[in-house]
Chain A
Amino acid sequence: MAAEIVKILIAGPVNAGKSTLIRHLSDTEVVSTDKAALDDVSRLKAQTTVAMDHGILHVADDLELHLYGTPGQRRFSFMWDVLSVGAAGLICLVDATSEESIAELGYIYDYFRKKTKLPAIVGVTRQDVAGAATPAEVAERLNRPDVPVMACDPRRKEDSKVLALSLFELILKGQEELEESDFF
Chain B
Amino acid sequence: MSEKSIHPDIEALRALRRALDEEGEGALLRFSTADGAGELNVRRGRFLTRGGDADVVVALGMLAAEPAVASARPPAEGDEWKLTREDARALVIRAMYGATLSDERVLSLSRFFSAMPPIRVRLAPMYPYADFFPGFTPYMRLHADSLLQGEVRLASWLGDVASAGAAGEKTRLLLVMYVLGLIQPRPKPRPSIFGRLMNAIRGV
Shortest CB–CB separation between residue A53 and chain B, in angstroms?
A: 16
Shortest CB–CB separation between residue A30 and chain B, in angstroms?
A: 13
Complex CA–CA separation, A175 to B190 (angstroms): 14
Q: 1/0 contact trace for A168-184 toward B, CB 8 Å?
A: 11111001011111111
B127 within 8 Å of A by Cβ? yes
> Interface-forming stretch among B28-36, B102-110, B181-189?
B181-189
B86 within 8 Å of A by Cβ? yes
> Out of B6, B10, B183, B193, which one reaches A6, CB within 8 Å?
B193
Quick check: A145 and B123 within 8 Å, CB to CB?
Answer: no
Quick check: B198 and A65 within 8 Å, CB to CB?
Answer: no
Quick check: B147 and A169 within 8 Å, CB to CB?
Answer: yes
A149 within 8 Å of B by Cβ? yes
Quick check: B123 and A166 within 8 Å, CB to CB?
Answer: yes
Known: A134-B130, A166-B123, A184-B10. A158 touches B187 (CB 8 A): no
Across-interface contacts of A147 in B (CB, < 8 A):
125
A interface, how many residues as a size bin?
35 or more
Complex CA–CA separation, A183 to B125 (angstroms): 22
Quick check: A183 and B185 within 8 Å, CB to CB?
Answer: yes
> Out of B10, B123, B183, B201, which one reaches A164, CB within 8 Å?
B201
Task: Report whether over half of chain B's contact residues are helix, strand or loop; otherwise say mixed.
Answer: helix
A162 within 8 Å of B by Cβ? yes
Shortest CB–CB separation between residue B106 and chain A, in angstroms?
A: 20
Q: 1/0 contact trace for B98-136 toward A, CB 8 Å?
A: 000000000000000000100000110101101000000
B54 within 8 Å of A by Cβ? no
Across-interface contacts of B116 in A (CB, < 8 A):
183
Task: Report whether over half of chain A's contact residues are helix, strand or loop; otherwise say mixed.
Answer: mixed
> Out of A161, A177, A182, which one reaches B201, CB within 8 Å?
A161
Quick check: A162 and B144 within 8 Å, CB to CB?
Answer: yes
A25 within 8 Å of B by Cβ? yes
Quick check: A182 and B18 within 8 Å, CB to CB?
Answer: yes
Q: 1/0 contact trace for B176-204 toward A, CB 8 Å?
A: 00000001110110101111111011101
B70 within 8 Å of A by Cβ? no
Known: A161-B202, A184-B1. A59 touches B185 (CB 8 A): no
A132 within 8 Å of B by Cβ? no
Quick check: A135 and B127 within 8 Å, CB to CB?
Answer: yes
> Out of A136, A164, A166, A178, which one reaches B127, CB within 8 Å?
A136
> Out of B127, B143, B184, B194, which one reaches A177, CB within 8 Å?
B194
> Out of B86, B125, B197, which one reaches A168, CB within 8 Å?
B197
Quick check: B148 and A162 within 8 Å, CB to CB?
Answer: yes
Quick check: A165 and B201 within 8 Å, CB to CB?
Answer: yes
- Central interface residue in B116, B147, B187, B201, by most chain A CB within 10 Å: B201
Quick check: A149 and B127 within 8 Å, CB to CB?
Answer: yes
> Out of B86, B185, B192, B195, which one reaches A181, CB within 8 Å?
B185
Q: 1/0 contact trace for A136-163 toward B, CB 8 Å?
A: 1001000001111111000001100110
A sample of 13 inter-chain contacts (CB < 8 A) reads A6-B193, A27-B204, A57-B201, A134-B127, A148-B125, A149-B125, A165-B198, A165-B202, A168-B197, A168-B198, A172-B192, A179-B184, A182-B17
**A→B interface (CB under 8 Å):** 4, 6, 24-25, 27, 57, 59-60, 63, 65, 134-136, 139, 145-151, 157-158, 161-162, 164-166, 168-172, 175, 177-184
